[in-house]
Chain A
């Protein structure tokens, strides 16, 4: 007999997840803003916020391994932070993207504001539905565009190794964001504006299509023992988790969410109305062929 009733997730649990993340994101954004402000006030000589970008470490990695030197604008702090990212991804998958990355937080905030505005304006909701109805090809395009971040990753690391300069820096919206106090209209600034504009319509557009750091973490994170685990026996099949995911992962199709796009934000867990359907879990090898009794129940139910 299949389970008919499942415990409802408490609102406090969802609030705890969301508030924890938003507090951490706010603290990180405030810290970066403080560094940018200090740099603007103290001028050359003080630490640049760029020195705290982990991707600089990855960009210089080939040069550093082969010559022992770093490319311009990269310091050993970048290498250390790149190492930290590797460790974080090995342990916590996309934790950095979902909880710490300031650019991701800003994109999320813009999308959140756009959502709030849409919810208050019926004509915007109707427009959104109309656009969705007339773009059935979008999921396919979205899927293809997601490979873009691996292309950017190869170009950024390879280009830095060949030319000795950070080729991605000229297009990096993160770099533009750090230089925003200088009011310089550069290519990176145009990319930043494009990212901000796209964030109104698409969740985390830079993270999805162009972020090389996200690509690195997605690949390394495949080895992480942590992931969102779904329990089909408590799953309502309501799709709320899919809609909550900022990276459009089909959470309700997975047993474990090991998708390289997962940023570990736990929005799916917070949104899920069923207490036991989704949870952050650590996995470990076991001799048991299939451990969860609920799976047997579900299979029995299906039979």
Chain B
């Protein structure tokens, strides 16, 4: 470092000498500015996050899962006739069959699911286990396009 401690400083406020060779780029501004303490910067911004997240939770907007649960905490599948956008990976094959106009045979045949796969298997398990070719967006499109009932 090309700076020097000098005897002009005190132990409480040591000074640095700007080297004669130093030519820092000049600064220029037409705006006023005020220093922000680092602690205030951090605390205020963390508080902003806390307030916004807590506010959205209070309003019921902060959902971290697509699952719908009853007051007793049980998973609730979409009712019959619900929009296909309600199909989620956590749903079992049986819940899809119950809620949408599609037969088990047609579903299994279309997505190449082995016939012995239980209908309690969730869509996520099918996808993660690479059982057949089913994934949620494709299933939604297939039902929207008029899957055989």
Contact = CB atoms under 8 A, between A and B. Distances in A.
Interface of A: 2-8, 16-17, 20-21, 24, 44-48, 51-52, 69, 72, 75-77, 79-81, 83-84, 87-88, 91-92, 95, 99, 163-165, 226, 229-232, 235-238, 240, 252-256, 266, 269, 273-274, 279-286, 288-292, 295, 298-299, 302
A255 to B, nearest CB: 4
Interface in B74-104: 75, 83, 85, 89-90
A255 B24 CA distance: 11
Contacts of B115: none
Contacts of B29: 229, 255-256, 283, 290-292, 295
29 contacts: A4-B17, A5-B6, A46-B65, A48-B64, A48-B65, A77-B63, A80-B53, A81-B53, A84-B52, A87-B52, A88-B45, A99-B42, A226-B36, A232-B25, A236-B3, A236-B24, A237-B22, A238-B22, A252-B25, A254-B27, A255-B28, A256-B33, A281-B35, A282-B33, A284-B34, A285-B32, A291-B29, A295-B26, A295-B29
Given A8-B16, A231-B27, A302-B26, 18 more contacts: A4-B17, A16-B38, A20-B39, A52-B64, A72-B137, A76-B62, A226-B41, A229-B33, A232-B26, A236-B2, A236-B3, A236-B18, A238-B2, A252-B25, A255-B28, A255-B29, A273-B16, A286-B31
Contacts, number: 188
Contact of B48 (A17, A88, A235, A288): A88
Contacts of A273: 1, 3, 16
Given A80-B53, A282-B36, A291-B32, A20 B42 contact: yes
B8 A238 contact: no
A51 B65 contact: yes
Given A284-B32, A286-B32, A236 B9 contact: no
Nearest to A294: B27
A260 B38 CA distance: 20
Contacts of B36: 226, 279-282
A230 B16 contact: no
Contacts of A255: 27-29
Nearest to B43: A20
Interface of B: 1-3, 5-6, 8-9, 13-19, 22-36, 38-39, 41-42, 44-46, 48-49, 52-53, 56, 61-67, 75, 83, 85, 89-90, 122, 124, 136-137
B53 A238 contact: no
A232 B29 CA distance: 11
Nearest to A231: B27
Contact of A230 (B1, B2, B22, B27): B27
Given A88-B45, A290-B29, A295-B26, A4 B85 contact: no
Given A75-B63, A99-B42, A236-B18, A45 B28 contact: no
A5 to B, nearest CB: 4
A253 B25 contact: yes
A283 B61 CA distance: 34
Nearest to A78: B64
B25 A17 contact: no
A8 B9 contact: yes
Nearest to A269: B38
B18 A4 contact: yes
Nearest to B83: A69
B17 A5 contact: yes
